[in-house]
Amino acid sequence: MKMDIIIPVSYNDCFKLRDNINYIKNFITADKIVIIGCEKVRLAIPELWTDTVSFINEEDLISLSDVTSYFYKIVESSSSKPTWYYQQFLKLYYAAFTKNEYYLAWDADTALVKRCSFFDSVTGRPYFDMKTEYHAPYFSTINTLFPDVDKIAKGSFVSEHMVFKKQYVLEMIREIESNNKIPGTVFWEKIFNAAKIEDLKSTASFSEFETYGSWVLTRYPDTYILREWSSLRHAVNYYSSMKEALKDQYFLSKEYDAISIEYGHSDTQYVMSPLCILFWNPLFKLLWKPSHLMHFLHDRGLAYWPGEKEAYRTKKQ
């Protein structure tokens, strides 16, 4: 199945992308890889721009200053940053630019550790890769945008990536923009206005993955296949960087499809966990699987799972 891979990336994350781009190339079959970022990103990682990896300036899709100024018209201050919403809007709006039927949006701080297919080999249908997160404000916003769309899936569509179908994304955007009960003109303005003010001020109030997944399962319920996704989202508890984590690619691939190195709001706030030394020990890698080590530590109060328990493969698939 032909598709693009798009990776919106901030300057802080572009160096993680430099470390994991070859894993994306080797483990995902795609027509092309498109990096979306600011000019500073383009200049920071010039070695990435090849025949198979191209760059699009984010401003050519949606203006960051427009999004930022509109956001702060609604809320004077917020613990959420407009740039966090901005990268979500870029993923959706890319549907207006791609020539392929599908595109895979991939988070720059996430790396595959094994080859994965994103379409069923028999039916050709794309997968919705499911995890376990639940954040109520996402669904409040979704229900305001689409009154007949509620949480429909048992799991969560937030899995650090998603296969978007161009036709469906454009249709969903048109539906948002035609909702005259919500102020705003373009889709992202209406998304901001659909969120509760208190949620915009204090927490994340919109997820492009939860919104698209819930909308598709309501409008086109038989077009995707739900699949359990196995990933180590909080790999930053055990590895100092993406580069260091990927040195353990074989060890991690015993149970996981992908790993994420998330530093939170700022890379400068990150302090490496002393637990890293246990993951570096060759004896542990030989005797235990990654989940065995994490559960051993967790049961003794030495490790934790912020927000959700890590999901891993219990059998080979």
In a domain? residue 314: no
213 shares a domain with 262: no
> Rounded to an integer, what is the distance from CA 19 to the centroid of its chain?
17
Instruction: Answer for the pair 23, 113: CB distance below 8 angstroms, yes or no.
Output: yes
Q: Each residue's pLDDT tens digit in the chain (317 positions)?
A: 789 999 999 998 898 898 889 999 999 999 899 999 999 999 999 999 988 899 999 999 999 999 999 999 999 877 778 999 999 999 999 999 999 999 999 999 999 999 999 999 999 999 999 998 889 999 999 999 999 999 999 899 999 999 999 999 999 999 999 999 999 999 999 999 999 999 998 888 999 999 999 999 999 999 999 999 999 888 887 888 888 889 999 999 999 999 998 865 334 444 556 666 777 788 888 888 888 877 777 676 665 555 455 565 554 44
241 shares a domain with 216: no
In a domain? residue 164: yes
Q: Which amino acid is at 135?
A: H
Handedness of CA 302, 307, 309, 310 (dihedral sign): negative
> Rounded to an integer, what is the distance from CA 112 to the centroid of its chain?
13
Q: Which amino acid is at 191?
A: I
127 shares a domain with 243: no
d(CA 28, CA 104): 10
161 shares a domain with 83: yes
In a domain? residue 203: yes
Helix axes 136-145, 208-219, angle to 10 degrees: 50
20 shares a domain with 90: yes
Phi first, then psi, for residue 131 (nearest 5°) are -125, -155
What is the predicted pLDDT for the residue at 315?
A: 46
CA angle 108, 159, 16 (to 5 degrees): 15
- In the chain, the number of structural domains is 2
Domain span at residue 70?
Answer: 3-228
In a domain? residue 166: yes
The residue to which tokens 């999004």 are assigned:
67
Sheet with 102-106, edge to edge strand ranges: 53-57, 32-37, 3-8, 102-106, 161-165
148 shares a domain with 247: no
131 shares a domain with 152: yes
206: left (phi over 0), alpha (psi -120 to 50) or beta: beta
Provide the strand spans (E) within 166-311.
225-228, 231-232, 258-260
CATH code, domain with 80: 3.90.550
74 shares a domain with 212: yes
Last residue of a domain, one of 228, 247, 281: 228
- Tokens representing 87 are 């990268």
- Tokens representing 291 are 């989940």
In a domain? residue 293: yes
Q: Of 220, 32, 210, 219, nearest to 125 (Cα)?
A: 220
In a domain? residue 315: no
Q: Of 29, 172, 7, nearest to 91 (Cα)?
A: 7
In a domain? residue 312: no
Instruction: Answer for the pair 278, 293: CB distance below 8 angstroms, yes or no.
Output: yes
What is the predicted pLDDT for the residue at 16?
A: 87
What is the predicted pLDDT for the residue at 269?
A: 44
CA angle 242, 250, 275 (to 5 degrees): 55
Q: Of 265, 254, 270, nearest to 316 (Cα)?
A: 254
Kindly report the pTM of this predicted structure: 0.90
- Tokens representing 36 are 């979306």
Instruction: Answer for the pair 196, 137: CB distance below 8 angstroms, yes or no.
Output: yes
191 shares a domain with 138: yes
206 shares a domain with 237: no
273 shares a domain with 139: no
What is the predicted pLDDT for the residue at 264?
A: 56
Instruction: Answer for the pair 226, 130: CB distance below 8 angstroms, yes or no.
Output: yes
Last residue of a domain, one of 228, 249, 271: 228
In a domain? residue 59: yes
240 shares a domain with 223: no
